Structure 1
Amino acid sequence: MSPTPTELQPKVVVFGLGGTIAMTSGTGDGVSPTLSAHDLVDAVPGLTPTGIGIKVVDFRRRPGASLTFADIAALAAAATRELAAGATGIVVTQGTDTIEETAYLLDLLHHRPEPLVVTGAMRNPTLAGADGPANLLAAIQTAASPAARDQGCLVVLADEIHAARRVAKTHSTNGATFRSPDTGPIGYVLEGAVHLLTRLPYRLTIPTPDQAERPRVGLYTVSLDDTPTLLDAVGEHCDGLVIAGFGVGHVPEPLVAPLTTLAARIPVILASRTPAGPTLTRTYGFPGSERDLLTRGLIPAGWLHPYKARILLHALLAAQTKPQDIATAFSVAGNRAEPSSWPWPTPSWTGDRAEVPAGHA
């Protein structure tokens, strides 16, 4: 029997987490997330003519700054259930404060081929020119598009489509804040249609983390004339640490000894605090240079920004990853090694069943 038009209709599930896109004020004391996900969808003009079926889940109502790893892991599991039940794609609305981090975590946990799209707003609904409805419409259109399949988690705002692993929030208030500094967006939503100008060459996913594992992963930003005092205080309480170093991966010489000690005890990732560009591995040779630090056991982040490096390290530790696999994972995620060396194969999907390549459990 041929499918009916209703059965062919794209079905997108919208998960609301709160954030600026859902904020109003009834007291005059500032805005807070009070609108439900249903309220957000109902406020989108032009949604009905798209013919996209919508299911709404009011999942959380929190500022983006208060979301947790547990929230995002639960969201990833709920999204997987909806997709297995037949949804075409998923949209997540949340606060923009943490989108570059939550979207990357979702990208790592999202194993299926259907689109998972994160969006938000820079101007809350009480302001003239609120951007939430337009961003939500573009995100829904992206989640419903066959062109967005097999691209993992995407971030859609201001009609631009960004890969979660590349996107960053670059301005505190500007509506065009989301950028992919090293590559630019992978596509756009124009006249209601999704246009991908490039596609991601591969996807990287990790096993579902053990929710009982709550690793403490720190991020330490190096600054001028830094001394070991603060680093020692932070490192003492960490199960893993990301160092946001100068330039291509440099630190002041007084930090070399404590970093050597830390790297012998926990994984320490060396990233760059600059907004774009990679860490290097063999150009400079002075004490505290990238070459010097890597000989002392630090792991280079490559092109991975410090915020995303922390997300990856936390997820790897929560999944109880072997130390040697942590280094390999960062080599691939930081674009320093071929994707074929990634420790966990991305499943290929036949219908709703995951087909794992031969030789992998």
Structure 2
Amino acid sequence: MSIALFTLGGTIGMAGKHRLTGEDLAAAVPGLSELGRPVEIQDIEAVPSANLTAAKMLEVVDAASKAVSAGAGGVVVTQGTDTLEETAFLVDQVWPHPQPFVLTGAMRNPTLAGPDGPANLLAALRVACSPAARDLGALVVFKEEIHAARWVRKTHSTSTATFVSPNTGPIGHVVEDRVRVLTRPMRLDGVQGSAEPAELDATRVALYTVTMDDDGLLLQGLADTHQGLVVAGFGVGHAPAALAPVLGELAARIPVVLTSRTGAGSIVRNTYRSVGSEWDLLQRGLIDGGFLDPYKARVLLRLLLATDDDIAAAFGQYV
């Protein structure tokens, strides 16, 4: 049984002006022959991850699904790290198979001392081969750590230890040649409808980060140009009092999801009662984003709007 490897570019494949192919990446991995599985490589359009789109990732998911239907026991995707936490969460919402879908990349390109790409790729391939990784949805593997897509975040601009899961920690590790899954998070319901790339491209969801002394001018007219909004509020879900009616008016026209800008933890529901508090904003019609960070909440809301799925029920899984 083979493993399907799809390459999307990124730092892992940057060798100066030369872009490495999947064959090049595989050739640089020591011990790959000991994997015991053939690796079937497909090079996708190599782009910086800042240029990746949701529609492109749906195309990759479709290609990966066909590979699994043809007998692949797991999937690995290499890409740039800038948007990896978002692409992984998108994949997690739509991946229908028990076979592992593993994403990885690198922080140091192959021309630098100590490139991390070969080790990350080998660990990712081992996870994709492992029966222990089945039924876990999309996973991110970096520095021999296994992270669930719905919790992982990029937290440092240059460190090779950039990927962490602040709320939970990694769900497992690759130790020597063994994949050790230490905890199995319950697989949540993904997006139920079929997300078409063209429909997703046409669905616009804004992300607004609340700041001190915020006047909300940037939100004017937003409901005329976007189908949804994610608000990254202070702390447990707060906004300045002057912003509360503005957000309430928007929530009356389009779905508005309330999250925390802090990077970890959930918003609350009933702790504070002042104007602009989480209780006040939820009373005004904002949707509880729970433990989802703003970036993942935006991915989910966009998928839900594109598929006409139940928005409240989907976000309710993360509360």
TM range (shorter): over 0.9
Counterpart of 1:19 in structure 2 is 10
Whether 1:124 and 2:91 are equivalent positions in the alignment is no
Q: Is the 8 A contact 1:151 1:203 kept in 2?
A: no
The alignment-based identity, stated in percent, is 54
Counterpart of 1:7 in structure 2 is none
Q: Is the 8 A contact 2:238 2:278 kept in 1?
A: yes
Residue deviations 1:140-197 (CA, integer Å, cap 9, x gap): 0000000000000000010000000000001000000100000000000011110001
Q: Unaligned stretches of 5+ in structure 1?
A: 1-9, 27-32, 337-361
User: What TM-score results when the alignment is normalised by the length of structure 2?
Assistant: 0.97
Whether 1:311 and 2:302 are equivalent positions in the alignment is no
Counterpart of 1:354 in structure 2 is none
Counterpart of 1:271 in structure 2 is 259
State the distance in 2 between where 1:61 and 1:159 align: 25
Which one of 166, 169, 172 corresponds to residue 157 of structure 2?
Answer: 172
State the distance in 1 between where 2:177 and 2:210 align: 44
Letter in 2 for 1:210: E
Counterpart of 1:346 in structure 2 is none
Higher-Rg structure is: 1
Root-mean-square deviation (CA), in Å? 1.1
Counterpart of 1:67 in structure 2 is 52
Which one of 267, 271, 283 corresponds to residue 271 of structure 2?
Answer: 283
Counterpart of 1:349 in structure 2 is none
Residue deviations 1:231-252 (CA, integer Å, cap 9, x gap): 2254542110000000000001
Whether 1:216 and 2:207 are equivalent positions in the alignment is no
Which one of 192, 208, 213 corresponds to residue 177 of structure 2?
Answer: 192
Secondary structure at the counterpart of residue 225 of structure 2 = coil
> Deviation of residue 39 (structure 1)?
1.3
Secondary structure at the counterpart of residue 42 of structure 2 = strand
> Deviation of residue 139 (structure 1)?
0.2
Residue deviations 1:233-280 (CA, integer Å, cap 9, x gap): 545421100000000000011111211111011100000000110001
> Deviation of residue 13 (structure 1)?
0.5
Residue deviations 1:89-131 (CA, integer Å, cap 9, x gap): 0000000001100000000110110000000000011101000
Counterpart of 1:35 in structure 2 is 20
Counterpart of 1:262 in structure 2 is 250
Counterpart of 2:41 in structure 1 is 56
State the distance in 2 between where 1:180 and 1:77 align: 27
Secondary structure at the counterpart of residue 62 of structure 1 = coil
Q: Is the 8 A contact 2:49 2:82 kept in 1?
A: yes
State the distance in 1 between where 2:69 and 2:237 align: 43
Counterpart of 1:152 in structure 2 is 137
State the distance in 2 between where 1:293 and 1:47 align: 53
Higher relative contact order (CA 8 A, sep 6+): 2
State the distance in 2 between where 1:181 and 1:247 align: 15
Counterpart of 2:78 in structure 1 is 93
Letter in 2 for 1:300: D
